[in-house]
Each structure stands twice: as C-alpha cells, then as structure tokens.
Structure 1
Amino acid sequence: MSETIKVAVAGAGGRMGREVVKMVLADEQLELVAAVDRSGAGTDAGELVGLKPCGLIATSDLDAALAQTKPDVLVDFTVPSVVYGNTVTAIKHGVRPVVGATGFTPQQIEELDTLCREANIGGLIAPNFSIGAILMMQFAAKAAEYLPHVEIIETHGDQKLDAPSGTAIKTAELIAQGREKIKQGNPNEEEVLPGARGGEYDGFRIHSVRLPGVFAQQEVIFGGYGQSLKIRHDSYERAGYMPGVNIGIKKVLEYEGMVYGFEHLM
C-alpha cells in the first residue's frame, strides 16, 4: 500500500460528506479518489463542497466508483436506508469502510465483522466521531458504576431522521455494561401523556428533543442521595467531527474486523 491513503466519500454532497471531502483535500497524507453523490454527480468535488475545483468529478454509482478507483478507505455519512448496502459493497471491493451513519442492528454489525475478517480488512462504525463526545460517554459509563440512577437527554435539529440518536444509544449501551440493573422511578407511576417519560433502555430513560436551530447536545444526568451529577457535551458545527474521522481513516488500516465505536481507537 502506498504512503498516501486513497479515500472515497459516499454522500459527498451531504452536510457531513462535504466536511469529509474538505478534510481529505486538506491532508497531504490522504488522496481523494472518488466522491459519490446522486444529486452532485457530474460536478467537480471541490466545487461541490464550496472550494476551488480539484479535478475530480463526483459520480452517482458507488459500485463502479470503487471498482475504477480502488480506494483504501470509504467514508460513509449517508442515511440508514442505504448505509448497510454501501458498507457491504465496500467490503466486497476490499475497501475499508469508515461509517458515521446510524441505523445498524447488532446482527448487521456481526455480519459486517464476519465479512471484514473474511476479506482480511478492518472497518469502523462510529455513532459519533467527536472526541469530546467519546470522553462524555466514557465518563458516563464510569459514573454509572457508582450512581446507577440515570437518564439521558439528547437534543438535535428538527430534521434529524432517527430518535434516539446513535450517540444516545451507544452511551446507553456503555452505561448498561457496568451499571447495576434497576428499574427506575415509582413502580406505580402513570404516564398521563404517552411517551412523557421517554424511551426505556435497561431500566432507565432516554429523551429525544428535536428543535430548529439546534446542532447536537447530549446530557447524562445521574441522581443519588442528596446529590446529582450532570455530564454534558455540545457540538457546534460538523467540522468538529473531522479530527476523529481523520484518525479513523488512518487507524482502520491497522486492524481486521469491524469495530463498533470510536472509543476503541482512543
């Protein structure tokens, strides 16, 4: 493999995809070899993301793009309805997937891990690439060992498709691993308004807020006798995820199998 890492980007014209393209073009260790976007096909990838032309024309066919350009890594920030198929396609071509989209089931992650190992390549699925968000999740998992009464409140813009967010689900999974499993709240409580107590995960609750003008926030609240602990992370713009994506692109070359969660790379 050459010193320069060849990168393809799926969903290159999307809000996150544009930031990935900018990041790849700015890093001398990375080479953008394919930009795949249905609506942006035929447009120079640089112009697609608001930069000067870079000489690479975006295309719409992922399978053909991977076959022709033979990248080392595919970065995918598309949508849940297509991301699993995109990931399978990448592995089929021997391309390491680095995926920021959500919506994978545990069974799908196991299947992708098997496919990666059969192809002798690594892959990464990360619900959140923000280093601060990963630290928030790790701190929350540690706190839950001592303060098992917990609730998660996550807030995103009103156009987000999934609820709860992938970050909230991953946080809940990490909390549940070391938390004493208890059913929280009054056993006789009644939701006068259905859904008022949020979604239940392993005995605790996750609340999703969707409002215009908000980017991404998550707060994990712990309650104990005479005290509370709040661990909060705020993301202000998509560029904040790019240092983590950059690390993911470079580290995915070093291992085999599908890794679920960016925290395993830190």
Structure 2
Amino acid sequence: MGREVVKMVLEDETLELVAAVAPSAGAVDAGIFAGKGNTGVLASTTLEEALNSAKADVLVDFTVPQVAYSNTKTAIEYGVRPIVGTTGFTPEQIEELDKLSKEKGLGALIAPNFSIGAILMMQFAAQASKYMPHVEIIEYHGDQKLDAPSGTSIKTAELISQAREELRQGNPNEHEIIEGARGGYYNGFRIHSVRLPGVFAQQEVVFGGYGQTLKIRHDSYDRAGYMPGVNVAIKKIMTYSGLIYGFEHLMD
C-alpha cells in the first residue's frame, strides 16, 4: 500500500512527495522503491526521522495496528494531518486522538476502507437494512490478515446498526455444535470472516426476507483501487479540524 501511495502522489501534479518511511528498505529512493524512478526522496527508517527531514502537511499510514496509534499521535504532535488506513484503534484511542487533533487545529482521518465502491456498498447495506432487517455479513481476506473481523465489516455493521433496531436473528434454541460456526455476534446479526490464500479483499452483505434474498457485494482485486479515495482524503483533510472516522464522511 505504501508503494501505491507513492505512485499516486508522484502521478498527481498537485501533490508533492516530501518524505517516506520504510524501516526495512534502507536508504533507498522512495520512487525507485515504488517502481517509479528516482525522486530524490530517500526513505527514512523511522517516522520521527521523516517528519524532521521535511515539512509535511499530510501523513498517509498503512502500517499495522501495533504501531498505527503511536504513528498517528506522533504525526499530530508534529503538526501533520494523519490519514490512516490501518484498523484496530480502540474507542478510547480514537477519542484521545480526536481531542489532540482539535487542540492542534488539524484534521485527521481513520478509514477502514478507502475504496469508493466499498463505501457505496456500506451505504447501500445500511439503507437496505431499514426494509430487510435480517442480515449477515461475510468478509473474505488473505490468510495473512491480522485482524478478524475486518475493519470494513465492523464499519458496515455499525452503519447497519444505526439504521435498524437490534434484532436477534435465527432460531432462539439454536446450538453451535462447533464453537464459532455461526460467526461473531453484533447487534443481533452475525459477521463471518474467511481467511484463505489467493483472496485479496471481498465482502458480501446478505439480507433475507419472505421469499427473497438480497446480496450486496464488493470485490477488490488490486491495491491501486484504494488510491482514488486516498487522493481525495489527502486534499480534503486540509479543511477539517478533529478526527474523522470513516471515509464516507469526506464523500460529497
């Protein structure tokens, strides 16, 4: 994802790449590392080194949950607006980062998904749940994904829960012969996480009603599909103050 962000920035004349972080890459040119040729911007080994080396307006972070919180906090403390595509933040961390970004007068964004198609899928699902409240979510990712369920499925579940009353689904006397067979419980419905090699990122929201079903599905095939959303976020975050959770809030 970092390489794709570098490519996107270099291909947009209105954006400028001023720093990059690649702890395991060594002092390599960020453009060469991303397959775009020499840019004169050497990758730093730490975030602090990168933020000290150049004046940045925005930081884009696609790391892992273990460091995303500290990276986000560090960026805000440096006066840089963080755009984070990593999930795993606790509500308390989000609240703290929101307070800190407001104190600094900076916009910040944590987005479980930057795919415009995925955001539309979530919004369509929330709308459908008003009329078809029986729903389950099935999300598919590669077998190396660290968190389950995915941030996208949790965000989808949150939006559905805002649009419909809690409804405990299924037979009230059902019994799981194998623990977890019915998936994770959320507000009355279930989320199922599939982890297999060869899978990139897919999600299906399945609604059931009398004599009918409705399936809303989104498939991602390449990381480049997230970049139009990241591009929009970079430009729009300059006009905000405080932390925004969810890319949908930046979509007009």
Q: What's the TM-score bracket when you normalise by the shorter of the two chains?
A: over 0.9
Alignment deviations for residues 155-189 of structure 1 (CA, whole Å, 9 cap, x no partner): 01111111111000000000000112111111110
CA deviation after TM superposition for structure 1 residue 226, in Å:
1.2
Partner of 2:239: 254
Q: Residue 113 of structure 1 is aligned with which of 98, 119, 136?
A: 98
What amino acid does structure 2 have at the position aligned with 1:76?
D
What is the 5 A alignment of 1:116-155? Answer: 116-155=101-140
Distance in 2 (CA, whole Å) between partners of 1:169 and 1:91 is 26
Percent pairwise identity: 72
What is the 5 A alignment of 1:156-195? Answer: 156-195=141-180
Distance in 1 (CA, whole Å) between partners of 2:34 and 2:53 is 22
Name the SS of the counterpart of 1:117 in structure 2: helix
Alignment deviations for residues 111-142 of structure 1 (CA, whole Å, 9 cap, x no partner): 11100000001011100000000000000001
CA deviation after TM superposition for structure 1 residue 52, in Å:
1.3
Partner of 2:196: 211
C-alpha contact (below 8 Å) 2:101/2:243 kept by paired residues: yes
Name the SS of the counterpart of 2:181 in structure 1: coil
Distance in 2 (CA, whole Å) between partners of 1:160 and 1:136 is 21
Name the SS of the counterpart of 1:172 in structure 2: helix
CA deviation after TM superposition for structure 1 residue 86, in Å:
0.1
* Consecutive unaligned residues in structure 2, runs of 5 or more: none
Distance in 1 (CA, whole Å) between partners of 2:163 and 2:225 is 29
What amino acid does structure 2 have at the position aligned with 1:207?
H
What amino acid does structure 2 have at the position aligned with 1:93?
Y
Distance in 2 (CA, whole Å) between partners of 1:135 and 1:198 is 24
Partner of 2:43: 58
Q: Residue 88 of structure 1 is aligned with which of 73, 76, 92?
A: 73
Name the SS of the counterpart of 1:154 in structure 2: strand
Partner of 1:237: 222
CA deviation after TM superposition for structure 1 residue 53, in Å:
1.5
CA deviation after TM superposition for structure 1 residue 68, in Å:
2.5
C-alpha contact (below 8 Å) 2:149/2:193 kept by paired residues: yes
Runs (4+) of structure 1 exceeding 6 A deviation are none
CA deviation after TM superposition for structure 1 residue 69, in Å:
0.7
CA deviation after TM superposition for structure 1 residue 245, in Å:
0.1
* Consecutive unaligned residues in structure 1, runs of 5 or more: 1-15
C-alpha contact (below 8 Å) 2:18/2:54 kept by paired residues: yes
Alignment deviations for residues 233-256 of structure 1 (CA, whole Å, 9 cap, x no partner): 011100000000000000000110
Is 46-55 or 201-210 further displaced after alignment? 46-55
